[in-house]
A and B are shown apart, each in its own frame.
Chain A
């Protein structure tokens, strides 16, 4: 069988056909689902570990210091050491807390993230579920995370956690509008909500270039609203350490805290991956129309690495924003959304629709 790293459909087809040949179709589908689930979980864990380490290194270099540099070569195993330590931490039970909701909250956030990863196109053929409403599904599923945050704050029986959770809930619900409108702008440009079609349409130029000004504005708005969605960066007053200790996850310790922490980084990766797919071309290499030699060189890099590279580039921009700016207060945050981002978004949508109608893109 001819396997190519540039087109993994042959690989997945081979797995599918060999399973169907040996076992009944129902069982084959079940085993495929288990394989995909395991792959996503492993990817989740690895990316989470890597992102925690990367954040510490990036913020350290911006602050004129070295990050972790003792545990393992260049400090690579620091996150593993932290994880092992968190496993040993005593899980402090809260007396008057609602135990069922308290234990359930971290898992809701994780489940929302895993459901979103399932729909991301990692490479040609490595696309777990290719829905025809791909963009809509991603937005819907990432909104489920806010339930986990609110449950965590409520069930902790702690004034500080409650304040943090309420602030966070208001923030996430408001910024979903901006995220949605920015993505809808790009759907207008692409003409379809299916993620693989969107990527295919960017073969001769990423949307951020072919969409001119409205696409750039939509990209900036998406980055800002995306960091607000994940409670990161200048919008992190839900976990403002210098004011309210740790916000909605104050009362969590040990492995449950590790789940919240990991979920935050995975959410950041998901936001970055969606940005990379819709604005920057997903797994499509950088092609310029007419430069054939350049295109051939760009084609040499496998699509999986293009996707990861773009996602991590957007993640770097989000980290850069976090470590430079001070925090916004809750009313300023909501003012930013409702008075600035929303009108600009609506105007941008009209501009993009005008552009598509006139045909000023190729």
Chain B
């Protein structure tokens, strides 16, 4: 720890604390070297790379169907959306149009993924601030979404359900009924979350006004997802560049102006309502059709560079593929939303206390394996 900060001269009464890679509130293996004066934070320096597995390098020796299972493990709470990103890039490059059935199912599963990711955010945010029952309530409701995933796709968190051309297998006959039951249950339970945490005066005093970033700074830092939308930056890919079935549904893009931690939290809670509206518009109208297009056994993309961006639960995930005509890509680059969202942590937390640092870090909702890839 000393080696990183020895060349910075310490002010009077300043001391350095290491919120090390193993810490209950950094949501993964993130190391924050915090220099404090008393209780006030002067400087925060994140050290990343503890979960680096070389995913982008591994992709250079795999074929396009084999890349999918690696993207599951980047931002594991938006696993389905990550898979969809690579499949959409490959399909766009090959010029294949998938059937409407595939588009509808992909959209419904993406929105379910978004709901369960925000449920986990609520659970861990409450736990970080000290309300430990929030953790259990959030995870209890998330189990129902996990059951839907397990019945159709086979896995709870690591799904690997998409493949270039469509889906691995058709949905289970129970899928629609289970999803509709979940939506009915969750519409009744979500107001409980508001009564327990959002409206609570202790929570509001703890979180309002923390880590404010205004709209111009958010655009300059490139913050997307709920973090950007809480500052007023309209960046929802589902509205600006619709993909899959998003141009067939109507939903609101949640925008607030204040840009503090409380509104980042509010954006995610409101997004859960919007996701439920989207699912309700689609779930009864899934058209019949094939669940996958016929693809060649070995996929070769024509020479060139291809880009596809999708809206994960945390922001804009971009997939950039450079191909030279072979079955392995030359370079795959993932523009990860968490890497960009972590960057302004120093500016957001300057001048606040340690307890506020935990609250700000939680409101950014980072998933560290996505930063390190």
A–B contact via C-beta, under 8 angstroms:
yes
Cross-chain contact B39 with A330 (CB below 8 angstroms): yes
Q: What is the bound-complex CA distance between A326 and B131, given in angstroms?
A: 4
A132 CB-CB contact with B under 8 Å: no
**Interface size on B (CB < 8 Å)?**
28
Residue of A nearest to B140 (CB): A64
- Tell me the bound Cα distance from A160 to B24 in angstroms: 15
Do A329 and B140 touch across chains, with their CB atoms under 8 A apart? Answer: no
B196 and A242 contacting across the interface, CB-CB below 8 Å: no
B197 to chain A, nearest CB (A): 7
A88 interfacial by beta-carbon distance below 8 Å:
no
Contact A159–B15 (Cβ < 8 Å)? yes
Quick one: which of A47-66 are within 8 Å of B by CB? 59, 62-65
**Interface: B157 (CB within 8 A):** no
Decide if B202 touches A242 in the complex (CB within 8 Å): no
Interface centre among A62, A163, A243, A331 (most CB of B within 10 A): A243
**In the complex, A329→B359 CA distance in Å?**
11
Task: Tell me the bound Cα distance from A332 to B359 in angstroms.
Answer: 15
> Once bound together, how far apart are the Cα atoms of A234 and B202, in whole Å?
9
Q: Are B355 and A326 in contact (CB under 8 A)?
A: no
Query: For the complex, is A236 an interface residue (Cβ under 8 Å from B)?
Result: yes
Task: Determine how close the nearest CB of chain A comes to the CB of B287; give it in whole angstroms.
Answer: 39
Fill in one digit per residue for B12-37: 1 if any A CB lies within 8 Å of its CB, else 0.
00010100000011000000000000
Contact assessment for A64 and B137 in the assembled complex, using a CB-CB cutoff below 8 Å: yes
Bound-state CA distance A325–B197 (Å) is 8
Q: Which of A59, A65, A242 contacts B25 (CB 8 A)?
A: A242
Q: How many A-B contacts at CB < 8 Å in the complex?
A: 73
A257: min CB distance to chain B, Å: 18
> A-facing mask of B120-160, CB < 8 A → 1, else 0?
00000011111111001100100000000000000000000
Query: Quick one: CB contact mask for B180-205 with A, threshold 8 Å, 1 for yes?
Result: 00000000000000001100101101
Beyond A64-B140, A242-B25, A243-B354, is A327–B129 a contact (Cβ under 8 Å)? Answer: yes
B350 interfacial by beta-carbon distance below 8 Å: no
Within residues 120 to 166 of chain A, which ones have a CB less than 8 A from any CB in chain B? 159-160, 163
Query: Which A311-357 residues sit within 8 Å CB-CB of chain B?
Result: 323-332
Q: Is A238 an interface residue (CB 8 A)?
A: no
| Bound CA span A242–B132, Å | 10
B75 at the interface (CB under 8 A from A): no
Cβ-closest chain A residue relative to B15 = A159
Most chain B CB within 10 A, of A160, A234, A329, A330, is at: A329
A237 to B354, CA, bound (A): 11
- What count of chain A residues pass the 8 Å CB interface test? 26
The reply to whether the CB of A240 lies closer than 8 angstroms to some CB of chain B is yes
Residues of the A chain whose Cβ atoms lie less than 8 Å from the Cβ of B131:
324-327
Q: Would A234 and B136 count as touching, CB distance under 8 A? A: no
Closest to A241 in B: B24
Please give, as numbers and ranges, the residues of chain A lying within 8 Å of B206 by CB-CB distance: 326-329, 332
**Binary contact readout B221-247 vs A (1 if CB under 8 angstroms, 0 otherwise):** 000000000000000000000000000
Whether B353 sits at the interface, judged by CB under 8 Å, is: yes
Q: Collect the chain A residues with CB atoms within 8 Å of residue B356's CB.
A: 329
What residues on B are CB-neighbors of A160 within 8 Å? 17
- Give the docked Cα–Cα distance between A160 and B15 (Å): 12
CB-CB under 8 A from A65, the residues of chain B are 136
Question: In the assembled complex, which residues on chain A have CB atoms less than 8 Å from the CB atom of B129?
Answer: 242, 326-327
Residues on A with C-beta less than 8 A from B197 are 326
Interface centre among B15, B132, B353, B354 (most CB of A within 10 A): B132
A63, B358: Cβ atoms closer than 8 Å: no
Asked if A328 meets B202 with Cβ closer than 8 Å, knowing A159-B15, A243-B355, A323-B132, the reply is yes
A242 with B136: in contact, given A324-B131, A325-B131, A329-B353 (CB under 8 Å)? Answer: no
B39 closest partner in A (C-beta) = A330
Across the interface, which residues of A come within 8 angstroms of B132, CB to CB?
A: 59, 63, 323
Known: A159-B15, A332-B206. A62 touches B24 (CB 8 A): no
User: Would you call B126 and A326 a contact (CB within 8 A)?
Assistant: yes
A325 touches B200 (CB 8 A): yes
Q: How far is the CA of A330 from the CA of B131 in the complex (A)?
A: 16
Q: Give the interface centre of A160, A242, A332 by most chain B CB atoms within 10 Å.
A: A242
- CB within 8 Å of A: which of B71-92? none
* Chain B hits for A64, CB < 8 A: 136-137, 140
* CB closest residue in chain A, given B197: A326
Closest residue of A by beta carbon distance from B128: A242
Could you tell me the distance between the alpha carbons of A64 and B133 in the complex, rounded to whole angstroms? 9
List, in ascending order, chain B residues with CB within 8 A of A326's CB: 126, 129-131, 197, 200, 202-203, 206
Q: Can you list 7 contacts pairing A with B, beta carbon distance less than 8 Å?
A: A159-B17, A240-B130, A242-B128, A242-B130, A243-B25, A326-B130, A327-B131
16 more A-B residue pairs beyond the given contacts A64-B137, A328-B202, with a C-beta to C-beta distance below 8 A:
A62-B133, A63-B133, A65-B136, A160-B17, A163-B39, A237-B130, A240-B130, A242-B358, A243-B354, A243-B358, A323-B133, A326-B130, A326-B202, A329-B353, A330-B39, A332-B202
Enumerate chain B interface residues (CB-CB to A < 8 A).
15, 17, 24-25, 39, 126-133, 136-137, 140, 196-197, 200, 202-203, 205-206, 353-356, 358
Closest 6 CB pairs of A and B: A327-B130, A63-B136, A326-B129, A326-B131, A326-B130, A242-B24
